[in-house]
Amino acid sequence: MTRNTRIGLLAAAVVVAVVAFVIAQSGGDDNGDNTSTPAASGSDNATQTTDSNEPAQPQAFRINVKGGVVDGDTQTFTVKKNDRVRIVVTSDAPDQIHLHGYDIEKEATPGKPARFDFKANVEGAFIIESHAAEDAGNEPLIARLHVEP
């Protein structure tokens, strides 16, 4: 192997390492399931802000549905009005997840979570429900969203 070939391979390896690092830090694309989340305790979460009072990135929350019921306790997510919010719902069976009040419905299937990404521009208390759980006679409530002034 010539010196130029070795240098070219080394440069390619560095580029691949940098790209892998950037993808890992950003959490990947929407096909992955690498959304960072606060603790599942349901406690209030601080908003990261910049000088313009816009969140640096959406607040991210995760919900897992197994066997048609929420895995663990029903969580309450608290955000401020106009915050960007991301909610990721994974399910081990096909499901339709509904965020009431904002009237957003998303499909969740095994390996493809339902992803809600929106601006919390309406104040109030809202419920997030699993239609599959409701159809099966289980408690449909899987989380609550509180949007404060």
Per residue in 8-44, pLDDT (tens digit) is 777 776 776 665 555 555 443 443 433 333 333 333 3
91 and 134 co-located in one domain: yes
Domain assignment present for residue 46? The answer is no
Q: Would the pLDDT of 109 be above 80? A: yes
Residue 116 sits in a domain whose CATH number is 2.60.40.420
Domain assignment present for residue 126? The answer is yes
Domain assignment present for residue 2? The answer is yes
pLDDT digits (tens, 9 = 90+) for 56-84: 577 789 999 888 788 888 999 999 999 99
Domain assignment present for residue 39? The answer is no
The reported pLDDT for the residue numbered 2 is 80
The reported pLDDT for the residue numbered 44 is 37
CA 6, distance to chain mean position in Å, is 42
91 and 131 co-located in one domain: yes
Q: How far apart are CA 134 and CA 58, in angstroms?
A: 29
115 and 76 co-located in one domain: yes
* Residues spanned by the domain of 91: 59-148
| Average pLDDT over all residues of the chain | 77
63 and 25 co-located in one domain: no
Domain assignment present for residue 50? The answer is no
Question: CA separation (Å) from 10 to 13, 18, 23, 90?
Answer: 5, 12, 20, 40
Per the structure, the count of domains in the chain is 2
What residue has token string 């066997």? 67
